[in-house]
Structure 1
Amino acid sequence: MTNSQAIRLDHFMAAANTAYYRRKNPFADFITAPEISQMFGELIAAWVIAVIHSMPTHTAITLVEAGPGQGTLMADMLRVIRQAAPDIYQNCSIIFVETSERLRQIQKQAIAGHTNLSISWYDTIDSIPSQPIILIANEFLDALPIRQFVKLNAHEWAEHYVQDGQLVQKPIEILPHAPIFDRPVKEGEIVEVCEVGQDIIKNLATRICKNGGAALFIDYGYASAVWGDTLQAIAGGVNVSPLINPGEADLTAHIDFLALKEIVIATGAQAYGIQTQGEFLKQLGLLVRARMLAVHATELEQKHIAEAVYRLIDPSAMGDLFKVMAIMHPDLPVPPAFELNKEEK
């Protein structure tokens, strides 16, 4: 990646994040919901158990996590599933979708107490064998590379490239296929397309239609038909330039959940949401679970529980910024925490 060469933004972002996750500890730069509180993973486990029980046959299920980080979410989920649904636990196999060998080793340690389960790692979701799956992805889509396009006039568009630490525009004649181009974008405005994310969602929804199962995506993004520049970089917990020192910071972009939902529906799968994380966790019983934990907690622990609840569901923290969408086989009922949104199917 030389400074003088213009590189298409998605190629720049892919190379930068590959270098970042290979060499850096991302959890020194940011914290995800599973690291904030065990309650997050416990509630996701309850969601998984309910969905599996709604499936016509659940003698054997493969639980998949995409972008599993340090393995904290899976560890919390398996602890609850083993205790609350031993029949599911005994017939469960685990798959991590993870490309970083360093993170794979950390994930192995996180679930070291589950040696009786079949546990495997794959580089991509598409490479997982055909079978019914329940897939969980928390902060997975946001790190996928995006392309940015600028509307020049009624008939012309330009695309963003990176050169010498700055964005430059190059004319483009053929736009990629994406729902966002059907929106009333005005001259000078920027739209973002995550082709990799669109393909993942389309293939996954098609797979769920064919083989059965469900998927749950939790990420920051928007649920309405909006657009604009959302590319950002975080290093040491603060925002930095995403175009300078590639590989030193985590590059992310907001998820266009509305576009992804349209893609799911077109496959014949069912899409539920788009919920805010705050509403999703409250409907799953976060406040009840927090009160249960607080009963036997010390004063300091109670303070930490209250702080975790605030960070997870308050609109000024993660509550409104993060959105939740479920993909389900069309024969399955409305999943937990989406009942209030079922008219949005």
Structure 2
Amino acid sequence: MLTRHLLKQASTCRHFLLNSKTSSPLLTKSLLFSSSSSSSPESQSPTTTFVDDKVTDQYPSSTSISIDRSDLYNPPDHSHEPTSESELVKHLKGIIKFRGGPISVAEYMEEVLTNPKFGFYISRDVFGTEGDFITSPEVSQMFGEMVGVWAMCLWEQMGRPKQVNLVELGPGRGTLMADLLRGASKFKSFTESLRVHLVECSPTLQKLQHHNLKCLDEDDNGDGVEKRTISTLAGTLVSWHALLEQVPSGLPSIIIAHEFYDALPVHQFQRASRGWCEKMVDVSEDSMFRFVLSPQPTPATLYLMKRCKWAAPEEIEKLSHIEVCPKAMDLTHAIADRISCDGGGALIIDYGLNGVVSDSLQAIRKHKFINILDNPGSADLSAYVDFASIRHTAEEVSANISVHGPITQSQFLGALGINFRVESLLQNCTDEQADSLRTGYWRLVGEGEAPFWEGPDEQVPIGMGTRYLAMAIVNTKQGVPVPFQ
């Protein structure tokens, strides 16, 4: 009964799958992974023709830095407890003091997350139940397996190239890639073509990825040839890079960006009496971080103007806040350019909107929301992904690029066969594994609280099937990717 009830929640996905005209032999085979595997333990939206020239003209011409709090909306209350300042706090205050004025929210966010010495992601494992948040790959092995099905289908549409770069941006613990390779390991022609490239800036997470992919490093023969690292999960070569630009070009690429865009730094703008002003981070007289508004245009204003041109005037008129993410635009441009030249495609899965994003920046510490200015470096910072901006950016790169979606994560996973996969796994597992599978399945495809939950209220599984969206960017030569037809 419980299985039937769970599967009913994704009946739309099942219907789509069974009636899809785009299934391939590889897709069908991929849905038949061995059933002996168990689950892994382990305010929205802006373009007024924006800032017409009037907004710029209203700013003072002086280049000196001044502070304006007159139009600041709801300055946040702090919840600092008396503690000694961390090295990151001292570093941030040092930057502000050296500049002689505030820094952008984007710069604050970037320092908090990826500062080489003190950044939140750099020196710790922040994922899973013991970390600060849980991602879909940590919820269930089925997520990585379904992404693997998508990658194999795209590889088939590409004509089964003999060599292909499989790139993951921000791979976390490596759980998604490990489940992908493990699930695809029986399809030798696919795995033998793969050159896995993990784009990761954290040495701590690189070590975890190396371990979870069960990598072996070849012995150094002293012949000057660079040592190779091989994942024993599928016999594939694995390399690490700090930036996407460091991944070798020339081969078709399959790029996966799962919960990567949401951590890219955003600039926040607020509508004030004199027009759109950028929100900045400053230090108050009592040595606390606070928000202020820029009294004049900032470099990020150019990105705001570009974003507003992509939106309808009525979409902008109702907003008092707008977020723009220049790094997301630049990254999308780089991805689309690579795909246009070399072939392949990219899959982006994240929480966000298919439109202009308003005030969405949030901080999460130990699975709870906190003030983003409190004890920087102790919590994850993330913002909603602007999928419409990704689409416009990619489509401007080349006529060889097509963008598909977004569709909900529930639709995406359902169309790729997660319903059949959970049924298969439930036939050959322990009671404890079955409970884990049902909970993980609900979190991936469900919406809201799980109706079957009988445990403590504070632990009820929350479905993210409709909160997360999936989008694909592909070379037009490959046609429309599964399951976006």
Indicate the residue corresponding to 1:240 in structure 2. Answer: 370
Indicate the residue corresponding to 2:453 in structure 1. Answer: none
Indicate the residue corresponding to 2:302 in structure 1. Answer: 176
CA deviations on 1:51-102 (whole Å, 9 max, x unpaired) are 001113511111111000000111111112211x201111211100000011
Indicate the residue corresponding to 1:128 in structure 2. Answer: 247
Matches within 5 A, 1:105-254: 105-112=207-214, 114-115=231-232, 116-130=235-249, 131-152=251-272, 156-163=275-282, 164-173=288-297, 175-178=301-304, 179-182=306-309, 183=311, 184=313, 185-186=316-317, 189-223=320-354, 225-254=355-384
The alignment status of 1:16 with 2:112, answered yes or no, reads yes
1:309, distance to aligned residue in structure 2 (A): 1.1
Contact 1:135 1:215 in 2 (8 A): yes
Aligned letter for 2:126? P
1:29 is paired with a residue whose SS is coil
Contact 1:180 1:191 in 2 (8 A): no
The alignment status of 1:2 with 2:102, answered yes or no, reads no
The answer to which of 71-80 and 123-132 deviates more is 123-132
Change (3 A) 1:188 1:275: closer
Aligned letter for 2:269? F
Contact 2:165 2:196 in 1 (8 A): yes
Aligned letter for 1:56? G
Contact 1:34 1:40 in 2 (8 A): yes
CA deviations on 1:30-53 (whole Å, 9 max, x unpaired) are 111001000001111111111001
TM-score normalised by length of structure 1? 0.93
The alignment status of 1:59 with 2:159, answered yes or no, reads no
The answer to which of 247-256 and 53-62 deviates more is 53-62
1:295, distance to aligned residue in structure 2 (A): 0.8
Structure 2 unpaired stretches of 5+: 1-91, 216-230, 283-287, 449-462
Change (3 A) 1:294 1:187: closer
TM-score normalised by length of structure 2? 0.67
CA distance in 2, matches of 1:278, 1:172: 44
The alignment status of 1:279 with 2:411, answered yes or no, reads yes
2:93 is paired with a residue whose SS is coil
Pick from 329, 332, 335: which aligns with 2:478? 332
Contact 1:156 1:173 in 2 (8 A): no
2:281 is paired with a residue whose SS is strand
1:280, distance to aligned residue in structure 2 (A): 0.6
1:298, distance to aligned residue in structure 2 (A): 2.3
1:176, distance to aligned residue in structure 2 (A): 2.0
1:200 is paired with a residue whose SS is helix
Contact 1:151 1:186 in 2 (8 A): no
Provide runs of 4+ in structure 1 moved above 3 Å: none
CA deviations on 1:190-228 (whole Å, 9 max, x unpaired) are 1101101110001110110111111101111012x3431
Contact 2:262 2:351 in 1 (8 A): yes
CA distance in 2, matches of 1:329, 1:136: 15
Change (3 A) 1:273 1:14: same
Contact 1:157 1:171 in 2 (8 A): no
Structure with bigger RCO (C-alpha 8 Å, 6+ apart): 2
Contact 1:55 1:332 in 2 (8 A): yes
Structure 1 unpaired stretches of 5+: 340-345
Aligned letter for 1:232? Q
1:68 is paired with a residue whose SS is coil
Q: Percent identity?
A: 33
Contact 1:60 1:88 in 2 (8 A): no
Pick from 173, 177, 182: which aligns with 1:70? 173
